[in-house]
Amino acid sequence: MSNTVEFRIINDAELPPIVFRINDDNDEVICVLNTHHRIWLSINRKVIAGTAESLFEKIDMVLTGYLEEQREYEKMDMMEDGM
């Protein structure tokens, strides 16, 4: 599995300043930067860069919750099977 992030630059008034999406071909990350919002992006560049750790913590929290939920389902299945 690769850790490659593809960056795309667009100019579209209908889209937000930054979008993370999935590459349909290989499930990799695409980061789309919208130059229509270049002033906002410029003013907030340090804030955006500084969100990396917080973003990781939030994703980790979501994933931990999901895994805990799956573990509970696993335990219930084992109890139903008489283990």
| Residue 33: predicted pLDDT | 97
Q: What is the pTM of this model?
A: 0.73
* pLDDT of residue 1 exceeding 80: no
Q: For residue 20, name the pLDDT band (cuts at 50, 70, 90).
A: very high
The model's pLDDT over 26-80, given as tens digits with 9 standing for 90+, comes to 889 999 999 999 999 999 999 999 999 999 999 999 999 999 999 999 999 988 8
| Residue 2: predicted pLDDT | 60
Q: Any idea of the CA torsion for 52, 16, 43, 62, to the nearest 10 degrees?
A: -20
Residue 53, token pair as written in the block: 């750790």
Q: Are 23 and 8 within 8 A, CB to CB? A: no
